[in-house]
Amino acid sequence: MSLSDTFRKLPERVRAQIADQLITRYCDPAFGALPKREIDLLFFGALVDAGLVGPKTTQYDTARLLRVTPARIRSLAFQAGLRDPHATADTLRRRLAEALTTVQYAKEEMLVVFGIEDPLLQADLVARLKALEVTPDFSFNRELVRIPKSMFGDLLDALLDEQKKQQVVKGLVRAGFPDGSFREVVKGALGKLAEKVADEAGKQAAKEIVDAASPAIRSLLGQGVEAVGRAWKTFGGGKGGGPGATDTALA
- Whole-number pLDDT of residue 36: 92
Residue 155 has pLDDT above 50, yes or no: yes
DSSP helix/strand/coil, 105: strand
Residue 187 has pLDDT above 80, yes or no: no
- Whole-number pLDDT of residue 32: 82
Confirm whether pTM is higher than 0.85.
no
pLDDT tens digits along 197-231? 445 544 555 555 556 555 555 555 555 555 555 65
DSSP helix/strand/coil, 137: strand
Is residue 165 within 8 Å of 97, Cβ to Cβ? Answer: no
- 74 band by pLDDT with thresholds 50, 70 and 90: very high
- Whole-number pLDDT of residue 234: 56
**Domain map (residue ranges) of the chain:** 3-83, 90-172, 187-242
What mean pLDDT is reported for the chain?
77
CATH number of 90-172: 3.10.28
